[in-house]
Chains A and B, each alone.
Chain A
Amino acid sequence: MTLPGNRTRTRVHVIVLLGLLVAGLALAGICAGAVPLSPPQVLDALTGGPNGFVVLQYRLPRVAVAVLAGAALALSGLFLQAAVRNPLASPDVIGVTKGAGLGAMLVAVLVPPGAHLWATPVGVVAGAASVTALLLRFSRRAGAHGATLALAGIAIAALAAAAMQYLMVVFPQRADQAMVWLAGSVYGSTGADVAGLAVWLVVCLPGVVVCARLLDLAGLGDDSQSGLGWSPRGIRVLLVVVAVALAAGSVAAVGGIGFLGLLAPHLAARLAGRRARWLVPATALTGAVVLSLADLAGRLVALPNELPAGVVAAVVGGPYLLYILLREARVHA
């Protein structure tokens, strides 16, 4: 029999290690690039040294966005998986990313270019919110089971994708920019992106805390939840809404980074177990690690060119998805 105290200490160690890993990767992300810098040079630059421009204007915002967006996407995936009780749910699978993309593309097509800076995030959030509203409406009418809800999201995503493709045909010039952005990259992030995302995440924070408390409960069956005095539907709606808010914020900042939301919660659960008080911080940190790593790898693999972080995440996410699928099959068989 393992002593509970012992296990807690292991969990704390895992969280601390993940935190250190995020910090290390952030430092590496600032050091690496077309002009390589040493850590002392970076410290020097932060206090106004000679490389201050590169570090403060380019690398720091980029690293910060990767950490924040990675954490947000990972938490979004965690909450969605709990809400639909299916390990395959994630913002992209359930249609939120496609809805956000459609919003961004509508803005690119309808709004004059001068206003894009503020209009794009609005479009992204509006698109994601519309998809969610449809989904929730649907779940009420059907009393939908988790996996069915996910399939409803997929159908809505297919419609959003069709609309995007139609726009791309009718307005090819403007849609091009939106497409590049949608492929997902932290390249060219600015201080404004960081500030916007950070503010948005602070706004979401109370929701995250509430959801984290509900997470253990969400794993129980509907009957147990009702027995404990909770409405199963209420829990599901809350989890979905917070998850979408998190996903929309990060999509507005970095575009569609595929499969991070699917991957990170699984990795975190292996490292820190399924108890919410450990799983939630571990998931956020894992997401930050994965996106920072994807960005770093994308920068180094094809020097002096860059692979978008979204591509790297998709390439890594593919085999991992297969692994999850096959493990599911074995468990069921």
Chain B
Amino acid sequence: MLALAGTGLLVLAGLWSLTVGATGMPPDRVAGALWAAAGSADRGLVLGVRLPRIVLAALVGASLAVAGLLAQTLTRNPLASAQTFGINAGAAVAIVATTIAFGAGGVAATVAAFAGAGVVGVVMWALSAATAIGTVGLALAGMSLQILLSALVQAILVMNNSTQDIVFWLAGSVTGAQWPDVTLLLPFTLTGCAVAAVAHRGFGLLALDSATGEALGQNTRRVAGGAALLVVTLAGASVAVAGPIGFVGLIVPHIARALVGGDFGRRLVLCVVGGALLLVVADLLARLVAFPGETPAGVITAVVGAPAFLFLALRSKTR
């Protein structure tokens, strides 16, 4: 029911988003553009510029939210997400470094993103295994890594005189998204969500302690490894197309929990819909706050997400 309502809102937000931009377009003109002859300016604008951007925002939002849900379940840490654990920033450093060193883009950048996300993921995995480090301690470690890696990204870009790219690579944005970005991300998002849906029972058991999981006949290590791999894949692919957009993966799972409780499967559905909705709306706001200039969507998610992070940190036990 909630998921249906969310999907409805998502469609509405998407349609509204189609009408907003430097060229103002009332809904009837958008509708007309869809049926206009190929090659008309309106059709190019709606189908070639605005639609891919909205679709990409939805995919990135869903991927990050699912990655956050998995990370929180896996580490049993309410402060976990691909961003707060530095995985997004790890991917961003790897992409920026390979792009500048080899001038590569597209697939090579995506591979680099997986490598960067994977390295940080392994470190955080090793840390989270030390249970005594505590919820807040683990989040602090992850955020320290994130800050360090972001500083590195910033420094690399400044040295290459590309300060305008910095906003993209520090905050993350879907501005200028094209269909190839969508086709790059789509398989990863679909696979990630599908695997999480199929294995939702196993992933749900990760929220319990490992002894209980094993008593119920689960190979805890294998399932946990699978979940970690999914986190890295979803986050890495998202960063490759949209930069390290923060806080979506942190707050959406909490909203889902508040709405439907702790059941993993039901939260998963809500995370897919809610993550997509959140980022589409954030991107819409990002286009409106400095109209006609464009603010990165990641700035909007940070303004919403940072206070939420603070609230969650306060509530968490320090040990």
**Chain A residues in the interface with B (C-beta under 8 A):** 86, 88, 92-93, 142, 144-145, 147-148, 150-152, 154-159, 161-162, 165-166, 168-170, 172, 175-176, 179-180, 182-184, 256, 258-259, 262, 307-308, 310-311, 314-315, 317-318, 321-322, 325-326, 328-330, 332-333
Interface pair B129/A166, CB less than 8 Å apart: no
Q: Does B24 contact A (CB under 8 A)?
A: no
Query: How many A-B contacts at CB < 8 Å in the complex?
Result: 164
**Minimum C-beta distance from A328 to chain B (A):** 6
Interface pair A169/B290, CB less than 8 Å apart: yes
Which residues of B are found within 8 Å of A148, using beta-carbon distances?
136, 313-314, 316, 318
Interface pair B126/A151, CB less than 8 Å apart: no
Q: Which 3 A-B pairs have the closest CB atoms?
A: A332-B132, A151-B313, A155-B310
Identify 9 new A-B residue pairs, CB closer than 8 A, beyond the known A147-B134, A259-B148, A321-B144: A148-B314, A154-B309, A169-B293, A176-B163, A179-B163, A179-B166, A314-B148, A317-B148, A329-B129
Interface pair B290/A166, CB less than 8 Å apart: yes
Interface pair B170/A165, CB less than 8 Å apart: yes
**Minimum C-beta distance from B291 to chain A (A):** 11
Q: Is the interface of A mostly helix, strand, loop or mixed?
A: helix
Q: Mark B149-171, 1 if CB is under 8 A from A, else 0.
A: 10110111011000110110011
Q: What are 9 residue pairs bridging A and B, where the CB atoms are less than 8 Å apart in the complex?
A: A92-B151, A93-B147, A150-B140, A165-B295, A172-B164, A258-B151, A325-B127, A329-B133, A332-B132
Interface pair B303/A88, CB less than 8 Å apart: no
Interface pair B144/A88, CB less than 8 Å apart: yes
Which residues of B are found within 8 Å of A152, using beta-carbon distances?
310, 313-314
Interface pair A93/B155, CB less than 8 Å apart: no
Interface pair A308/B136, CB less than 8 Å apart: no
**Partner of A159 from B295, B298, B302 at Cβ < 8 Å:** B302
**A248 to B131 Cα, complex, angstroms:** 36
**Minimum C-beta distance from A300 to chain B (A):** 16
Q: Does B31 contact A (CB under 8 A)?
A: no
**A307 to B155 Cα, complex, angstroms:** 9
**A161 to B79 Cα, complex, angstroms:** 20
**Minimum C-beta distance from A185 to chain B (A):** 9
**Minimum C-beta distance from B176 to chain A (A):** 13
Q: Is the interface of B mostly helix, strand, loop or mixed?
A: helix
Chain B interface, number of residues (Cβ within 8 angstroms): 55
Interface pair A256/B152, CB less than 8 Å apart: no
Which residues of B are found within 8 Å of A162, using beta-carbon distances?
171, 298-299, 302-303, 306
Contact flag A183-B133 (CB < 8 Å), given A148-B314, A151-B309, A172-B164: no
**A175 to B164 Cα, complex, angstroms:** 10
Q: Does B139 contact A (CB under 8 A)?
A: yes
CB contact list, B30-59 vs A, under 8 A: none
**A156 to B143 Cα, complex, angstroms:** 13
**A169 to B318 Cα, complex, angstroms:** 38
Contact flag A166-B295 (CB < 8 Å), given A155-B307, A155-B309, A155-B310: yes
CB contact list, B274-295 vs A, under 8 A: 289-290, 293-295
- Most B CB contacts (10 A, CB to CB) among A150, A166, A176, A184 go to A166
Q: Does B246 contact A (CB under 8 A)?
A: yes
**A307 to B159 Cα, complex, angstroms:** 8
Contact flag A147-B299 (CB < 8 Å), given A154-B143, A256-B151: no
**A315 to B148 Cα, complex, angstroms:** 9
Q: Does B296 contact A (CB under 8 A)?
A: yes
**Minimum C-beta distance from A82 to chain B (A):** 16
Q: Does B8 contact A (CB under 8 A)?
A: no
Which residues of A are found within 8 Å of B154, using beta-carbon distances?
179, 182-183
Q: Does B239 contact A (CB under 8 A)?
A: no
- Most B CB contacts (10 A, CB to CB) among A175, A183, A325, A332 go to A325
Interface pair A151/B158, CB less than 8 Å apart: no
Q: Does B229 contact A (CB under 8 A)?
A: no
The chain A residue with its CB closest to the CB of B84 is: A154
Q: Does B137 contact A (CB under 8 A)?
A: yes
Interface pair A142/B314, CB less than 8 Å apart: yes
Which residues of A are found within 8 Å of B100, using beta-carbon distances?
none
**Partner of A326 from B123, B140, B159, B307 at Cβ < 8 Å:** B123
Interface pair A325/B123, CB less than 8 Å apart: yes
Interface pair A147/B171, CB less than 8 Å apart: no
Interface pair A158/B309, CB less than 8 Å apart: yes
Which residues of B are found within 8 Å of A86, using beta-carbon distances?
137, 140
The chain B residue with its CB closest to the CB of A95 is: B147
The chain A residue with its CB closest to the CB of B145 is: A321
**Minimum C-beta distance from A114 to chain B (A):** 23
**Minimum C-beta distance from A162 to chain B (A):** 4
